Structure 1
């Protein structure tokens, strides 16, 4: 019968005097020791022997072996037979036999295998323990691949003459290292240092990437990661090819109240010989006292094509901004400025509103006498053009204040009735435009009354239906006819602003006269997880407003019909569509998107059609498809596709393919993309990239990795 021994005897306690020497642990050394074995006996006065299914525990530490002998005279432990040592973390030591000091700080393990983070395996003929810090392994095979007993080699392994694991710095040092793929030697290094899997931020080289571009040639990017203290790091990535010499930088720093990130690069290439090219993108966010938030964003580049030549960004307008905000339940404050820089060949920075500043404040109040909610707001805005040319160099400054009151009631059989009334007053100061007065004062009163009637029912199949008709009467008197339209040139008509007092995106334009905004919405939630939504609405005016463009859908006495729908599953494919139709069912705008996340991948497809409209700087219609998808077509293989097709000009503007192989020990990414569009300063280009990363020498395995299994 198996016997169980409990106690604090010194001889038994010596078995676990310090197992943390083999694998660091956090338990206190005075925790009770439990020894379980088939037999535990004293052999003479100096030898304690435990044999047969021996298991010793102290806290979360566990030692399993067939036989343990403790010699009190020499203070040594002799451990035999299928040794397994766990420390309660993610480190496991396996061995055939061991001879260790009583505190396990010194000794030798034969036929040893060290497993770090249940991922990286180091199998050695012999492992020597030196002090509480170093573990030295001789004739070692290292891999993170699943190793089967069928004699087949792992996908990759590192063979080394000697490996030293420094538990204090958590680094692994290799001597005479040889990388093998399917047991075929492919790479040799006399010495090499890599972080063990427990390291989150290790100084050294990251996974290199081979990049081939039709404009930049074939090159290699070799990132080097440099941690700076506990809260900052710098990544330097040289990119070298026959066509370019580039250094890319990424700096990150975390503060107790925020963080910053800076991405930059500098290049000398054959695309623009003897000219240095560069870019800097930086952003940061900070939480300040009294609920203030500070955000900044810096974007700049040396020339208009650098970002797209190197695939850093597809932006054709850059914006650098500084913003200070504070939002509470009763107030909202904002102060900021933005600098714009256009990269479009059809635009000039001198005639664009490149410098914009704005300050705003809104206060919410709840007057007890009349109920409801009152809002008081202030706004100051300025945008400036560098050009001093008349009209095209126009600068605008505006100041406005507003006050309104709103209240809602539930009346009758579930009717929701809302009232709103208020006024905005202010003035515009205009420079460099001789066709307009320098200053224009204005006052805009406004009011609205809204009636909603939500109706809910449960269908025979358990689905819930919600039907909501809405009608709103709105009125405002616009007194800004002499003010130029600088900010409200692009107007979108959708369900988000169907019941707004003004569809113009900025206060330099406001809708005028009496109008009715009507809409009907229907939503169904199915018991099986299905979801359907349909909304229809339009605007009817007492007088025409000619400031809206033809394709906006808002011109004339009656707007186009706004149609929006969503059909699909709450956890499945979802189709969303929006369109504008006139009374003859002619379309002005169409947008449709299909999104689907499933077990093996994702799908995102979008169709867009816009009618030509010179008021919106669109000389011809726009019609295009975009597609992005990835699919796991085999156990370890995932494919990805990206595609953008111009239906008007009948050509593909952008296409990309990706292929990934990933299991528990390796990840290989192969990508190819082609940009077909060209302009006066940007040529079509093709880019191919390849990265190969070995798992086990980083902060853990990818969560999406599939682990191989052995065939029985």
Structure 2
């Protein structure tokens, strides 16, 4: 039987094909049996009933449509699938002919993100407000052998406002594993399907030897579609409250991000003891990046603290992040304004830099201000004649205390790579640069210094590859010979950009190993090295590089740490072994030229398999070995997590200074995680001493509830 009635119904018997809706405003009805009760002006459908209206589907055992009231009543195994994929269930419902407004008995719903809500009854109103009585809400699975959800919100009444996309509760109780934990006369959170919404985020709390008991409650403010702010007041037992703000905004051409905090308090030590002046204290970290066009962009980075130890006193993260074109050294803040341009054959950047020191003994007047630093380079592809480029650079550095300096440089280089008969590769190169320094004569002894530097040389390599059924092997010996101008490093030139340089395998075949401008490696030099790699078909990959450099004469401007003092360098070694994610080792080392004693090693090991993942790093350096007291640094870093069960895990982290016999930082914690939540108990301790701050420890509780809120990263830095 088939008939097109005012509420367009099509009966389906056996394998008859369902009819498509005639137009958007019509409802398609499919059922085993459809019949009409003319005396009551009703249409009845029974058996595997399915009604479709504009993408919304209703399924039931029985459906009755009253033409007089234009209402639909359904009963038995009711399922309503909305256009967003969410599912609603009920024992009995009555809705309008569009399957929208009405009421339901024995109501439950599975939302698009997996959250579940259940109520004794639910009413959907025409103004977009859903009212539920005796309601339970959770993001945890609730159909697994009647398992009690990890957490849930149980309330006397709840209202979902579809226009504001907020879900509010009256007399709400938050339960964990079925046990009541918190009671709220009123509680509200955004609908899980909604966009960004203003409201309270998950707080953080704990016990610290500095702050005592502390509690920080973030509030998220969705200011507009393109801007937002997190307001996080911190209250603690030992010191005055602190206000922390995070502001983010996107523009058509870029974005900005600021983190700041402020308080009015005295200094305090690791035990929370107050001393000194009661004054306003603050910090600000911020960055921004904007596109001018497809090739040019500008940006800024802001870093400032009112006190050297402000971030460590209040455990504020972010001091060591890069916020712009340039990165600073540890415990040094850098504010910068920069412009960058890059095309297919050129690169240019210019920046203004300002430093603030946080280390003991730092005097900001002795740190330089760059006004500005400039670099520009232009490339040319010469075809069979190789590649060439010219570059210009300048640096204007000023100090309130100490020497000012100004440098202007202009240079160029040329490179040509050819493949010779037999598979040899020959690289020929030349570079030249002129520098002019305007100096502080009272400090440097000279008012200005001019110099011309350059190198010319060649690199010969012979890559050999042997494919195999089990392993592919590559062996490449190489040698580089270059000659450069001598006596180019005038002692009057201040070393501003090459202080932390160390010759290693990454610069083994560079004629001038120094990446900066103030020091230059001239004279004659010879580098030889061997690179090998073996790749097994099962995924194992081993590689090594070993080499050394010889120089025609020593340069007194190169110190022991640079590995270029004297006429020969240490042996430099780099090795790695990896087997997918299960295992990886990376090692870099320096072996003394006399006796192959270990002068430096840096080894990182990472593993991830089954229920265990971890990363470990060991570092060791020794300089001035022949001195009465050689300078030795050695430490170890560990971080990992062990999945004890499917839900419980143990995580740990440690940074230990072996020479000082102290733990710079320790972290241990237990975590519980399932499909809808994560809970952490974390213990941290530091034995570092920095002026008035000494050893400290803290205990924290961190948790997140899916669809309700999150905590930050739990990574150990």
TM-score normalized by the length of structure 1: 0.90
Aligned CA distance change for structure 1 residues 633 and 68 (closer, same or farther; 3 Å) = same
1:615 Cα deviation after fit: 13
The farther-off stretch of 152-161 and 624-633 is 152-161
Q: In the alignment, what sits opposite 2:602?
A: 591
Highest relative contact order (Cα 8 Å, sep 6+), 1 or 2?
1
Q: In the alignment, what sits opposite 2:205?
A: 210
Q: Residue 372 of structure 1: which of 386, 399, 417 is its match?
A: 386
1:611 Cα deviation after fit: 0.7
SS in 1 for 2:506: coil
Q: Does 1:38 align with 2:38?
A: no
Q: In the alignment, what sits opposite 1:346?
A: 361
Q: Residue 570 of structure 1: which of 572, 580, 587 is its match?
A: 580
TM-score normalized by the length of structure 2: 0.90
**Are 1:578 and 1:592, in contact at CA under 8 Å, matched by a contact in 2?**
yes
2 CA distance for matches of 1:574 and 1:465?
19
1:105 Cα deviation after fit: 4.0
1:613 Cα deviation after fit: 4.5
SS in 2 for 1:635: coil
The farther-off stretch of 618-627 and 634-643 is 618-627
Aligned CA distance change for structure 1 residues 596 and 294 (closer, same or farther; 3 Å) = farther
Q: In the alignment, what sits opposite 2:395?
A: 381
| Pairing 1:595-674 to 2, within 5 Å after superposition | 595-613=606-624, 620-674=631-685
Q: In the alignment, what sits opposite 2:134?
A: 139
1 CA distance for matches of 2:144 and 2:688?
54
Q: Does 1:409 align with 2:406?
A: no
The farther-off stretch of 117-126 and 636-645 is 117-126
| Pairing 1:205-604 to 2, within 5 Å after superposition | 205-244=200-239, 245-269=241-265, 271=268, 272=275, 274-313=278-317, 315-355=330-370, 357-367=372-382, 371-387=385-401, 393-431=402-440, 433-461=442-470, 463-478=471-486, 479-482=488-491, 483-583=493-593, 584-604=595-615
1:582 Cα deviation after fit: 2.1
* Residue-by-residue CA offset, 1:278-304 (whole Å, 9 max, x unaligned): 110001122221411212111100111
1 CA distance for matches of 2:371 and 2:583?
41
1 CA distance for matches of 2:23 and 2:545?
69
Aligned CA distance change for structure 1 residues 121 and 422 (closer, same or farther; 3 Å) = closer
* Residue-by-residue CA offset, 1:435-484 (whole Å, 9 max, x unaligned): 421111111132121112111111341x2111111111112114342423
Q: In the alignment, what sits opposite 1:111?
A: 106
Aligned CA distance change for structure 1 residues 638 and 354 (closer, same or farther; 3 Å) = farther
Q: In the alignment, what sits opposite 1:22?
A: none
1:269 Cα deviation after fit: 4.0
**Are 1:198 and 1:698, in contact at CA under 8 Å, matched by a contact in 2?**
no
Aligned CA distance change for structure 1 residues 14 and 100 (closer, same or farther; 3 Å) = farther
**Are 1:14 and 1:102, in contact at CA under 8 Å, matched by a contact in 2?**
no
* Residue-by-residue CA offset, 1:654-696 (whole Å, 9 max, x unaligned): 1111222121232212222111011323222112221233323
1 CA distance for matches of 2:712 and 2:443?
64
Q: In the alignment, what sits opposite 1:21?
A: none
SS in 1 for 2:618: strand
**Are 1:447 and 1:476, in contact at CA under 8 Å, matched by a contact in 2?**
yes
Segments of 5+ residues of structure 1 without an aligned counterpart are 16-26, 388-392, 705-712
Segments of 5+ residues of structure 2 without an aligned counterpart are 12-20, 269-274, 320-329
Q: In the alignment, what sits opposite 2:78?
A: 83
1:323 Cα deviation after fit: 1.6
Aligned CA distance change for structure 1 residues 39 and 324 (closer, same or farther; 3 Å) = same
The farther-off stretch of 33-42 and 225-234 is 33-42
Aligned CA distance change for structure 1 residues 33 and 598 (closer, same or farther; 3 Å) = farther
SS in 1 for 2:7: helix
* Residue-by-residue CA offset, 1:550-569 (whole Å, 9 max, x unaligned): 24332221111111100121
